[in-house]
Amino acid sequence: MASGDNREAEINPSEVVASPFQSFLNDLHLKYQSLRDGKVATYIPELAKANPDLFGICAIALDGRVFEVGDCHQLFTIQSISKVFVYGMVLEDRGRDYVLSKVGVEPTGDAFNAIVLDESSKRPYNPMVNAGAIATTSLIKGAGPTERLNRMLDMFRRYIGHNDIFIDISVFMSERTTGHRNRAMAHLMHHFGMIDEKIDEAIDLYFQQCSLMVNCHDLAVMAATLANNGINPITGEQAVDSSYVKDILSVMYTCGMYNYAGEWAYKVGLPAKSGISGGIIVVVPNQIGIAVFSPLLDERGNSVRGVKVCEELSRHFGLHMFDLAMGRCKVLEMLSNEEKI
């Protein structure tokens, strides 16, 4: 199931806020719904079945207000967006210095699946590209594969805020049987001492994390949790040690959009992460978590509509980090005047 079933929508309509911000999202959705540029991912055969029409935008404020439009309750696999959260988990498990000795924090300017390691240190460049993410996953603590998987799922549960989470076995198997490039990278990294001998275990766990099923609403809660210093704004649960949130946001900012990261930093100016299923999360620190879902991708593997929506949101509301720092952000003022329905 590539773009999975619609999980029973458990929305209490009173939680969705009618407001100028919501109207702006509605307008953006309408404007970009007809944009058909890009292609769905096909290199993982199961993902080729994705419906290109799907399109959702969701934003969650730190007081729990939800703004959403479109296909926000359609399930799909999280793919590379998972890398952000596993990185946080491994920082907790192993500490900053150890993780840094195995995975760098340098943007590459290369594609997400490039087979490239840092010339001198032999580390993968950063935890957001596939090589770095596989190395990161290999650092998850646990007595065996089951314990490691369960610990990882528990971590995702804390971010998502409910127990109803599953791995899409079809996508997992599809990637497991075709992911030779990732497997090759894992062997190369083992050769250079960056991952231990449990190569197949690390690769399986990496494919499992990428096959976690989420919807756009879940992703917005996860982004809002990072915006809220690691505390899920809906459940109040601490999803990750707050002292590591800065590390996570830094690599999202510099590396989260792959070889578009520089232009993204210039135009949108916010920590973000994309995934090959068409999701993008964006964190507005201390304000709001945003997620967009649309499976049509550009040549870098980023959602075409997702990038457009985020660029326009940032420009319109002054969300760029440096606009925020200079006090030019309009969304804060506007959100504080919102009324619940």
* Interface map 71-90 toward ligand DON (x if CB under 6 A): --------xx----------
Annotation-wise, does 232 bind a ligand?
no
CA distance 93 to 90: 5
Q: Would you tell me how many other CB atoms lie within 10 Å of the CB of residue 27? A: 12
- Residue 274 near ligand DON by CB under 6 A: yes
Q: Got the DSSP string for 132-166?
A: HHHHHHTT---SSHHHHHHHHHHHHHHHH-SS---
Closer residue to ligand DON in complex, CB, 230/271: 271
Q: Provide the token pair at 175.
A: 């990637």
Strands 279-284 and 56-61: unpaired
Annotation-wise, does 121 bind a ligand?
no
Chain residues 106-165 in contact with ligand DON, contact rule CB under 6 A? 112-113, 130
Annotation-wise, does 206 bind a ligand?
yes
Beta carbon of residue 260, minimum distance to ligand DON (angstroms, whole number): 10
Of 82, 18, 26, which Cα lies nearest the Cα of 56? 26
Please name the amino acid found at residue 264: W
Beta carbon of residue 77, minimum distance to ligand DON (angstroms, whole number): 8
Which residue's beta carbon is nearest to the bound ligand DON?
80
Q: Are 83 and 205 in contact (CB under 8 A)?
A: no
- Give the residue, chosen from 161, 233, 275, 306, that forms a contact with ligand DON under the rule CB under 6 A: 275
Q: Provide the token pair at 316.
A: 């319109």
User: End-to-end alpha-carbon separation of the chain, Å?
Assistant: 36
Which residues does 180 contact at the CB level (< 8 Å), separation at least 6? none
Annotation-wise, does 175 bind a ligand?
yes
Closer residue to ligand DON in complex, CB, 182/294: 182
Stretch binding ligand DON (CB under 6 A), from 212-220, 226-234, 274-282, 327-335: 274-282
**Positions that interact with ligand DON (CB under 6 A):** 79-80, 112-113, 130, 175, 182, 210, 274-276, 301
Can you say which residues are annotated as belonging to the binding site for substrate? 80, 130, 175, 182, 206, 258
